[in-house]
Amino acid sequence: MIVVLRHPRREIRIEGSRRVHALLAELELTREAHLVIRNGTLVPGDGLLEADDTIEIRPVVSGG
Amino acid sequence: MKCRTCRGPAVIDLPRHNANFCAEHFFELCRRQVTKAIDEHAMFGTDDRILVAVSGGKDSLAVWDMLVELGYRADGYYIALGIGDYSEESREITERFAAERGLALRIESLRDDHGFDVPTAAKVTGRVPCSACGLSKRHLFDRAAREGGYDVVVTGHNLDDEAAVLFGNALRWDVEYLARQTPVLEAGDGFPRKAKPLVRLSERETAAWCILRGIDYVIEECPMAAGNRHLQYKELLNALEEKSPGSKAAFYSGFLDRMSPLLADDRRRDVLHRCVHCDSPTGGESEVCAFCRLVERTRGQEAVPVEMLVKKKSRSRTSRRGD
Ligand code: SF4
Ligand SMILES: [Zn+2]
Ligand SMILES: [Zn+2]
């Protein structure tokens, strides 16, 4: 799957499918500080991300 | 995962509520939390005229959206800070948000209306950008509310912001700041009432509100924020939250319930007089308020590009109290 990351915006490729929780853990991202977006809506923690999905991991922590 | 309320497919898991929700019932939960904060702290009523301080970020747009949806009379107020592309983008997004919904938005520009911008002020004063920025925002919000006849200024501070500020204030045992850290500050001495209706929502929740409602907000951060203490505290608290969901809310609400009342005596304001230039309330010796002094010092200075400060800043860690 293609994973879009932010700050700055960039893309990485992950082989195979994953649950949202597993993907965040693999990338060492805190669940409380991120949301996963697919086709304009959110995918919950146990949601399955397919190998051919394009998803965005959106950090939610702001500094100001 | 199923929605706790309707058993339909969930879009978000909220560990601190030990539950999952579909979009519709997530919205319901957010509205309930905001209504509860407004009522519990007597923030404002449906007759009050509200001025929402909007930055184009998720929190301020979410709070504006929620207040309008809940039937409050809320206008927006945006300050163009002159922080390069970040300011350009956030202004466009804020203007579009207001235009699409037919909401009243007042825009004030530091550069056009007061002759300076945040990077230039930082250079001239030799202090971190957030210092001049915070000072300008507080001053202009107050002034805009006073001049526009608004009853209350609303900001988008969320649970994470408040917990991080509380953590910082407690680390220093800064009693004066702790005493003033309440979800609503009463009007007085020429200052408007100030309220934070999002204190019961985490920033993951306010971001989710925007995404699920289709609200376009500025995702990239202010380049001046990188690495500041406020962000470090948030990271620490989120690490704790991950292990023990509900920690942030318990920390902050415990403070409000059990500690804040004990500090009521420390909540007095300084003795104030009026600034001879702008009529704003101000303390201290000077006849002129801190904002007007800043305007004076920066007058005629050449504009400083943002990049210069960002580079300089990454070498020196900065501290803020989260304004
Ligand atoms: S991070 Fe600092 S400079 Fe940037 S908007 Fe916030 S207070 Fe202003
Ligand atoms: Zn539901
Ligand atoms: Zn003044």
Residues found in chain B: 323
Whether A64 sits inside 8 A of B208 (CB atoms) is no
- For residue B157, the distance in angstroms to the closest alpha carbon of chain A comes to 9
pLDDT confidence band for B316 (50 / 70 / 90): very low
B187 lines ligand 1 (CB under 6 A): no
Confidence of residue B112 (pLDDT cuts 50, 70, 90): very high
- Taking an 8 Å cut-off on Cβ atoms, the answer to whether A42 and B212 are in contact is yes
Residue B304: the pLDDT is 87
Structure tokens, B250: 């318990």
For residue B296, give the nearest of B284, B288, B304 by alpha carbon. B288
Q: Would you say B128 and B135 are in contact if contact means Cβ atoms under 8 Å apart?
A: no
pLDDT at B1: 86
Q: What are phi and psi of B320, to 5 degrees?
A: -145, 160
Percent of chain B past pLDDT 90, that is, above it, reads 84
Asked if A42 lies within 8 A of B239 by C-beta distance, the reply is: no
Report d(CA B316, CA B319) in Å as an integer. 10
CATH of B43-316, one of 3.10.580.10, 3.30.70.270, 3.40.50.620, 3.30.360.10: 3.40.50.620
Cα gap B133→B53, rounded to integer Å: 14
| Statement: residue B134 has pLDDT above 50 | yes
B20's tokens: 């999952």
pLDDT (0 to 100) of residue A64: 62
* Cα–Cα distance for residue pair B282/B78, rounded to 1 Å: 23
CA B19 to chain centroid: 28
Residues of A in contact with B220 (CB under 8 A): 6-9
Task: Name the closest residue on chain B to residue A40, using Cα atoms.
Answer: B211
Domain locations along chain B: 43-316
**ipTM score here?**
0.97
**Cα B80 from Cα B316, distance rounded (Å):** 26
Residue B259 beta carbon below 6 angstroms from any ligand 1 atom: no
Is B245 close to ligand 1, i.e. is its CB under 6 Å away? Answer: no
Binning chain A into helix, strand and coil, the percentages to the nearest 5 are 15, 40, 45
B112: helix, strand or coil: helix
Using the Cβ of B12 and the Cβ atoms of chain A, whether some distance falls under 8 Å is answered with yes
Residue A62, ligand 1, Cβ within 6 A: no
Which residues of A1-64 form beta strands (DSSP E)?
2-5, 10-13, 18-19, 34-38, 41-42, 48-49, 54-59
Say how many CA atoms lie within 13 Å of B179 toward its Cβ: 11
| pLDDT single digits (tens) B179-232 | 999 999 999 888 999 999 999 999 999 999 999 999 999 998 899 888 789 999
Q: Is B137 on the interface with A (CB under 8 A)?
A: no
Q: CA-to-CA distance for B26 and B155, rounded, in angstroms?
A: 22
Label residue B301 by pLDDT band (50, 70, 90).
confident
Residues linked to residue B273 through DSSP beta bridges, in sequence order: B282
Q: Whose CA is nearest to atom 7 of ligand 1?
A: B130
Question: Mapping DSSP to helix (H, G, I), strand (E, B) and coil, where does residue B45 land?
Answer: coil
Q: What is the pLDDT of residues B31-51, one digit of tens each?
A: 999 999 999 999 999 999 999
Ligand nearest to the CA of B23: 2
CB contact under 8 A, B208 and A42: yes
| pLDDT for B283 | 87
Q: Average the pLDDT over each of B194-203, B218-227, B236-245, B247-256 and give the range with the smallest value.
A: B218-227
Tell if the CB–CB gap between A32 and B202 is shorter than 8 Å: yes
Decide: B318 and B132 in contact? Cβ < 8 Å: no
Q: Which of A33, A5, A34, A8 is nearest to B223 (CA)?
A: A8
Q: Mean of the pLDDT values across residues B233-246?
A: 96
Q: Could you tell me which chain B residue has the CA closest to the CA of A9?
A: B220
Chain A residue whose CA is closest to B213:
A41
Taking residues B110-124, what's their average pLDDT? 95
Closest CA to B198 of B37, B72, B19, B69: B37
pLDDT at position A53: 97
The tokens for B41 are 């702290």
- Where helices occur in B81-197 by DSSP H, the ranges are 84-101, 110-114, 118-125, 129-148, 159-172, 175-180
pLDDT tens digits, one per residue of B2-25: 999 999 999 999 999 999 999 999
CB atoms within 10 A of CB B131: 20
- Interface check for A16 against chain B (CB to CB < 8 A): the answer is no
Mean pLDDT computed over every residue of chain B: 93
Query: What pLDDT is recorded for position B294?
Result: 96
Of A41, A44, A60, nearest to B204 by CB-CB distance is A60
Predicted TM-score (pTM) of this structure: 0.94
CB neighbours of residue B88 within 10 Å = 12
Which residue's structure tokens are 């977006």? A37
Q: Which tokens sit at B294?
A: 């800043």
**How far is the centre of ligand 2, averaged over its atoms, from the C-alpha of A37 (Å)?**
19
| Contact criterion met (CB below 8 Å) for B108 and B78 | yes
Q: Is the pLDDT at B286 greater than 70, yes or no?
A: yes
What pLDDT does residue B309 have? 77
Mean pLDDT of B288-305: 92
